[in-house]
């Protein structure tokens, strides 16, 4: 659980930073932390303190809670899958209703194709 939490928070911060077009160095400077400490957070090697999480949220115009899982339970997923989910969430959050409808149909088709491949 702890490792999954580290990876979830790491992926959410990394995806939000990239969506804002910031480098680790730029974000680290904005929150007055070292690039190394931000790198450790984004790689899931460390969880940010509450203060750091607040600063990151402020710098990225997000609520600090947006970096945390919605429920207390996290699925047992590979770190790469967690990162991809967070990056997809960032892309989806910028779509209008029409684009969301297209994206939903495409994702449903991909999911169906994946189900057929594994059966």
Q: Which two tokens mark 63?
A: 């609520």
Which residues are within 8 A (CB) of 102 and not within 5 positions of it... i.e. 6 or more apart?
none
Average pLDDT, the chain: 89
The number of C-alpha atoms within 13 Å of 33 and in the hemisphere containing its C-beta is: 20
Q: Give the lowest-confidence range in 35-39, 57-61, 93-97.
A: 93-97
CATH number of the CATH domain containing 82: 1.10.260.40
For the chain, how long is the longest CA-to-CA vector?
Answer: 51
Question: What does the pLDDT read at residue 39?
Answer: 97
Provide the residue range defining the domain that includes 95: 2-118
Question: Are 85 and 17 a contacting pair, CB within 8 Å?
Answer: no
Coil/strand/helix, residue 118: helix
| pTM of structure | 0.71
Q: Which two tokens stand for residue 36?
A: 């190394």
Query: How many folded domains does the chain comprise?
Result: 1
Measured in Å, how far apart are the chain's first and last C-alpha atoms? 30
pLDDT in tens, 68-108: 887 766 667 778 888 888 888 888 888 999 999 999 999 89
């Amino acid at each position: 659980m702890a490792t999954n939490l580290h990876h979830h928070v790491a992926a959410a911060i990394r995806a939000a930073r990239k969506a804002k077009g910031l480098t680790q160095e730029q974000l680290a400077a904005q929150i007055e932390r070292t690039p190394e400490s931000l790198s450790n957070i984004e790689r899931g090697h460390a969880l940010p303190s509450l203060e750091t999480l607040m600063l990151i949220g402020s710098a990225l115009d997000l609520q600090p809670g947006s970096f945390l899982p919605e429920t207390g339970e996290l699925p047992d997923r590979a770190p790469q899958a967690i990162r991809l989910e967070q990056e997809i969430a960032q892309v989806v959050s910028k779509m209008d209703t029409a684009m969301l409808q297209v994206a939903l149909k495409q994702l449903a088709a991909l999911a169906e194709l994946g189900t057929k491949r594994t059966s």
